[in-house]
Amino acid sequence: MYKIAIVGASTLLGKELKEALSDSTLAAARFVLLDENEALGQLDQVGDEVTFVQSIGPDAFEGVDFTFFCGGAELTRKHWKKALVAGSSVLDLSGALDLEAGVLVRAPWIGSDAASADLFTPAIIPAHSAALALALIMERLHQHVPLRTAAATLLVPASELGRAAMDELHQQTVNLLSFQTLPRAIYNAQAAYNLLSGLGENAVANITGVEARVRRHFSSLAENRWPSLALQVILAPVFHGHTFSIAIDLERPVEIATLEDALSGDHLDLVLEDTDSPSNLAATGQSDVLIRLRPEPGARNPSESSRLWIWAASDNLRLYALNAVECALDLRRLRPQGTVQ
C-alpha cells in the first residue's frame, strides 16, 4: 500500500491527476490532498477513498512514497525539499524544478537510452504534455525514416495558464458581447476572440515561459535522435486542449501508407477523414494524440512524400496527468515494499 500526496490538489491539473490516479493501478493507495488558502477543508475523492484538502503542515510528507506538485511554482519551491527530506519521491508538474541540478525529465512512453532515476535523483519532471505529443510523433516517424527538419506551431488554451486565466477569458468573452470594459489582470491584453504570440507588459500569464519549457522538455526527450524543433507558441482563445500545426522534412520520399502505419498505434490516433479533423474539442477526455496527415500538395508522386504536414490535437491536462502517473509507476522499482526507503 503506497501513500501519495498531491500538492495543489484543487488546481485544474491536480483534479486531472486525481482522475488519472483513480484509473490506474495506484488507485488503492492512501492519498493526502494538500493545498493552501480557500481550498482547505474541501471534500474530495481519489479512487475509492474520500478525503479532504489539508494544509501543508510540518509532518505533511511523513511516510509519503510519492509527492506530486501540481500547484504554482512558488508553492513547489516552498515545500519540495521537505518532501525530499521525508524520503518521498518528488514529481514536479509545476515547472519550478526545471533548472534544478540532477532532476530528470521523463516520459515512459518514449523509448530512451537515458539513465534511469535512482535513490540519488532529487526529483522527476514528467515531460510537458505538448513536448510529449511532439516527441511521440517524431519517434514513430524516425523508426521508419530519418528526419531532416521539424517545425511546429503550438496553440495553447487558457487552461494551460491556470484557473484564473480561464476565468478571465470567460469574463472577457461575456463583456465583449455586452460592450463592457474587459478585465486584463491576467493577460494584460484582449485574449477573447484573438490570437496572441505575446501578452501585455504587466501580464501575470506567461506564454514565453510555456514555449521555453516545451523546448527544454522536447530536447530532453529527443536526446539528439531527432532534429532540433523550430517552435512557436500562440495563445488561442479556447479553454482547453492543445492543437499543433507541424511541418516535417524527411531525408527521402516514403510511401504514404508507410507513414500512416508509423503514426498509428499506442497513444496516437490517426484520423483519415477530413470530416473528423482533430480539434481541441474532439481531443477533450482522450488519452491519445489525434493526428491528421497531409503529404506535400502538388507532389509528383501522390503515393509517397518527403515533406509532411500534420494537424494534431491532444487534451493538454489529461496527457500531462497520464504521463505523471506513468512516471510514478516507473519509480515503483525504488520502493518494492511500498514503504519509504
pLDDT in tens, 51-85: 778 888 889 999 999 999 999 999 999 999 999 99
CA of residue 36 relative to chain centroid, distance: 23
CATH of domain 3-126+321-334: 3.40.50.720
Q: 298: closest CA among 288, 286, 306? A: 306
Tell me the CATH class for 131-316: alpha beta
> 125 and 106 in contact (C-beta within 8 Å)?
yes
User: In the chain, which residues fall in CATH 3.30.360.10?
Assistant: 131-316
The 3-state DSSP composition of the chain as helix, strand, coil percent (nearest 5) reads: 30, 25, 40
pLDDT at residue 122 greater than cutoff 60: yes
pLDDT at 341: 45
Q: 232: closest CA among 138, 130, 119? A: 130
The CA-CA-CA angle for residues 221, 222, 228, to 5°, reads 130
User: For 121-188, where are the alpha helices, taking DSSP H only?
Assistant: 129-142, 163-177
pLDDT at residue 339 greater than cutoff 60: no
pLDDT at 336: 61
Dist CA 191 CA 4 (whole Å): 37
> 236 and 155 in contact (C-beta within 8 Å)?
yes
> 64 and 83 in contact (C-beta within 8 Å)?
yes
Dist CA 204 CA 184 (whole Å): 9
pLDDT at residue 296 greater than cutoff 90: no
Dist CA 178 CA 340 (whole Å): 56
What is the identity of the amino acid at 194?
N
User: In the chain, which residues fall in CATH 3.40.50.720?
Assistant: 3-126+321-334
Residue 178 Ramachandran class (φ > 0 left, ψ -120 to 50 alpha, else beta): alpha
pTM, entire model: 0.92
> 29 and 47 in contact (C-beta within 8 Å)?
yes
Dist CA 59 CA 34 (whole Å): 12
pLDDT at 301: 67
Inter-helix orientation angle 316-331/129-142, to 10°? 80
- Sole residue written with cell 506535400: 296
Q: What is the mean pLDDT of residues 317-339?
A: 85
